[in-house]
Amino acid sequence: MGGLAAAVVVTTGFATSAQAATFPHDGNRADEDGGRADQQVIFHKLINNGAGNAVGYVDLMYSVNCHTAWAHVHSSTTQVNQTWVTHGTIHRNYDDKEYGCTGTEGSNDCYTPMVYDKGMTSSRRRRGRP
């Protein structure tokens, strides 16, 4: 099998310079911190292998209540032989805070911890590497 990795990078910048430098929910898991209660997919992208076949997808998730963003990477095949792995990254540009996740054997999903996003602008990009 070929290699598969995907990442979502969310870059953010302050709308005003008067905002505090500490961010609630940073590094917390959405399923443990209330983010998944109102989660929304704000970007969805298929992940293709080198032959053009869809092998999974990556979602940029957002919670209005928590004002947070995180990445969800899903593979369409359960990882059992460790010849490839799913990987996601979420990144805040303001302070270069970054969190990642890596799928484990027998898993189809990986979720990054959250980054706080209130009053900031966000963008995304997907990176793949073997």
**Which among 95, 125, 102, 111 is positioned nearest to 35, based on CA atoms?**
111
68: tokens are 């947070």
Q: How do residues 90-106 score in pLDDT, each as one tens digit?
A: 988 778 889 999 988 77
What residues form DSSP beta bridges with 116?
68
**Distance between CA atoms of residues 110 and 39, nearest Å:** 16
pLDDT at 76 over 90: no
State CA 101 to chain mean position distance: 8
User: Which one is predicted more confidently, 47 or 119?
Assistant: 47
The whole-angstrom separation of Cα 82 and Cα 28 is: 27
Supply the pLDDT for residue 107.
83
For 20-51, the pLDDT digits (tens) are 457 889 999 999 998 899 999 999 999 888 88
Average pLDDT over residues 113-120: 88
- Its pTM stands at 0.74
Q: How far apart are CA 99 and CA 114, in angstroms?
A: 8
Contact predicate 73/86, CB 8 Å: yes
Checking if the pLDDT of 81 tops 80, the result is no
